[in-house]
A and B are shown apart, each in its own frame.
Chain A
Amino acid sequence: MSGVLDVITVVLSGLVAGGLLVVQLGLVRTVAVLPAAASIRLHVAFDHYVERSMPALTIATLIVGIVDSAVHSMPAAAAALSIAGLLATAIVAAISQLVNVPMNATMRNWEPGTAPREYASLRVRWDRAHLARTLAGEVAFVCFAVALVLR
């Protein structure tokens, strides 16, 4: 059972990390070069769908990771890495819910086809927050992966 929970934690964490990375390398770069109205349309359409899957994967990573750490004994190094992975995953969830999701809601409420003046500054803040949660997500995944092989 311990092995199964380890593997599930690593798989879920990998899906979160890969999802964040492709947004960083694909979407952020794409919306930066599109005209403002088209970039808002793409951002709103993408986030409408991504907000269904990414929060669920992040919360599932936290739950399975916490259960795994709580019920199974492991070497000290693996335990420390698992806790670091959980903390980094919690940072991903916090940045998402406190910064990115409210900004997505703001963009959804704008008149379609228009680009309000505050878009440029909101774009910069969204991109910075996304970069921070991407780094946290990658750190979490690497911690869980190393913990898995050290057990």
Chain B
Amino acid sequence: MNVLFVLAVVLSGLAAGAALNGVLAMIPALRSLDAATVLEVRHAAGPLPSQMTVVLATGAGLAGAALLAFYGNLGSDAQALVAVATGLSGVVLGAGWFAMRVQMSLCEPREEPARQLALTRRWEYAQLVICAASLGALACYASGAASVP
């Protein structure tokens, strides 16, 4: 049980830290650069940061699901917190997948700036969702680990 809690906390924490850095630093940094540089950056970066989020959220969600499935003695508080965290990991997984798809579309050069801007906004909203959900998952897993009787 302890190993699963450590795994869930560590994976969700890495996803949350990565997402927070994306929202607080990468989004404003990309907004401050010219369009040609942003395209170069997106080509060079590829979907790896979003893939990292998907992998971490999947691992955290699986660890949470295993805790719920195999340990009935977590106590009601810890069980509820782990259930919420597992659900939030699912949200991170879905939004990370969406961000990855949008990121791949953003790598294609386009003639229409309006379409590029719309895709950029979708990518930014996905990052906000990932950030909020992964922070929630981390807080819930850590609180759950602390509240096991």
- Taking Cβ atoms with an 8 Å cutoff, the residues of A that contact B are 3, 6-7, 10-11, 13-23, 25-26, 29-31, 33-35, 38, 41-42, 45-46, 48-50, 52-54, 141-142, 145-146, 148-151
Query: Is A34 a contact of B17 with CB atoms below 8 Å?
Result: no
CA distance A17 to B16 in the complex (A): 9
Query: In the complex the two chains form, what is the Cα distance from A22 to B21 in whole Å?
Result: 8
Q: Please, how many residues of chain B have a CB less than 8 angstroms from a CB on the other chain?
A: 41
Instruction: For residue A53, give the distance in angstroms from its CB to the closest CB of chain B.
Output: 5
Q: How far is the CB of B103 from chain A (nearest CB, A)?
A: 11
Expressed in whole angstroms, the minimum distance between the Cβ of B73 and any Cβ of chain A is 15
A30-B41 contact given A14-B10, A142-B6, CB 8 Å threshold: yes
Task: From A11, A18, A23, give the contact of B19 (CB < 8 A).
Answer: A18
Query: How many angstroms from the CA of A13 to the CA of B21 in the assembled complex?
Result: 13
Q: State the majority secondary structure of interface residues on A.
A: helix
B residues with CB within 8 A of A: 2, 5-6, 9-10, 12-22, 24-26, 28-30, 32-33, 37, 40-41, 44-45, 48-49, 52, 135, 138-139, 142-143, 145-148
Given A22-B52, A30-B44, A149-B145, A41-B16 contact (CB < 8 Å): no
Q: Is the CB of B146 within 8 A of A3?
A: yes
